[in-house]
């Protein structure tokens, strides 16, 4: 089984976010980037298939040269090879088209992507990728088993879970639950050294029209200052909750 894991290169949640050029562009200065958490769950599951069923695991990213450090981390964790499509991931449809070309040329049986990326939270790419390829698609997937050309997937739905029987080739939009957090891999020194010898292929993008464009970014309004009330002044507390906060 050939598995392709889509990797997004996203800012660490602890990074301070700023914008430039009239708040129309994300400022990457001083920002630490990591593997998108939803993708990391998918990569760990793919490595389980590699270890238990002999699958091959390739990771792919649509992005600039700065994303190669993230791909190298995925290789150090255990992926066999990496692919970078040399284009800025500014639009979900554009990214899906690039990934579709990689899937077609590589003949992958299973494509695992995160259900959404941590930065834009668009949640568009896995579904559009499956639509372009004509593959079955399971989103919000929290469990996946594969037996030959048959797969059983469990996904979260409103109010519960749904178990599906599907056939390969298949696209998965994965999330926390595909593996437990305690099972996520940390690169060790041997893995880091081996990653330097693994193939990282650079591909130029295919022509695809972007369907969306970021016009402006805006930060959330800052939180108001905390108002401290003496523990023995219950009347003031009730008054503020009723007249100012209007929660009672």
Kindly give, in sequence order, each residue whose CB lies less than 8 Å from that of residue 199, ignoring residues fewer than 6 positions away: 81, 82
Task: Just give the CATH number of 2-217.
Answer: 3.40.50.620
* CA pair distance 30, 12, nearest whole angstrom: 11
Q: 47 burial class (0-12, 13-18, 19+ CB within 10 angstroms)? A: buried
pTM above 0.75, yes or no: yes
* CA pair distance 158, 70, nearest whole angstrom: 33
Among the listed residues 27, 72, 77, the one whose alpha carbon sits nearest the alpha carbon of residue 48:
77
Quickly count helices (H) and strands (E) in the chain: 6, 13
Please give the average per-residue pLDDT across 139-154, as a whole number.
96
pLDDT tens sequence across 98-135: 999 999 999 999 999 999 998 888 899 999 999 999 99
Please give the average per-residue pLDDT across 169-196, as a whole number.
92
Kindly give, in sequence order, each residue whose CB lies less than 8 Å from that of residue 177, ignoring residues fewer than 6 positions away: 41, 141, 142, 143, 156
Mean pLDDT of the chain: 93
Kindly give, in sequence order, each residue whose CB lies less than 8 Å from that of residue 56, ignoring residues fewer than 6 positions away: 1, 2, 3, 50, 80
Alpha helices in the chain (DSSP H): 37-53, 68-77, 92-106, 125-133, 189-195, 234-239
pLDDT at 225 over 90: no
Tokens (6 digits) for 2: 């050939």
pLDDT at 220 over 90: no
pLDDT at residue 214 in the model: 85
């Amino acid at each position: 089984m050939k598995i392709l894991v889509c990797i997004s290169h996203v800012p660490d949640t602890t990074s301070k976010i700023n914008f430039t050029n009239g708040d129309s562009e994300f400022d990457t200065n001083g920002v630490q980037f990591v593997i998108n958490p939803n993708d990391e769950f998918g990569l760990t599951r793919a490595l389980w298939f590699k270890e238990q069923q002999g699958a091959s695991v390739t990771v792919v990213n649509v992005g600039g040269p700065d994303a190669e450090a993230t791909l190298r981390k995925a290789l150090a964790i255990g992926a066999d090879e990496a692919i970078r499509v040399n284009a800025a991931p500014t639009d979900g449809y554009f990214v899906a088209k690039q990934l579709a070309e990689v899937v077609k040329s590589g003949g992958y049986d299973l494509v695992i992507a995160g259900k959404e990326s941590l930065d834009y939270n668009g949640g568009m790419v896995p579904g559009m990728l499956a639509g372009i390829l004509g593959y079955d698609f399971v989103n919000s997937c929290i469990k996946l088993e594969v037996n030959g050309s048959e797969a059983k997937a469990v996904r979260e739905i409103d109010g519960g879970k749904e178990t599906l029987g599907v056939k390969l080739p298949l696209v998965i939009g994965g999330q926390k639950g595909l593996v437990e957090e305690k099972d996520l891999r940390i690169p060790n020194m041997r893995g880091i050294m081996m990653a330097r010898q693994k193939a990282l292929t650079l591909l130029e993008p295919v022509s695809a029209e972007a369907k969306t464009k970021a016009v402006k970014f805006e930060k959330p309004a800052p939180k108001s200052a905390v108002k401290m009330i003496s523990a023995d002044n219950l009347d003031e507390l009730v008054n503020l909750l009723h007249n100012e906060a209007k929660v009672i």
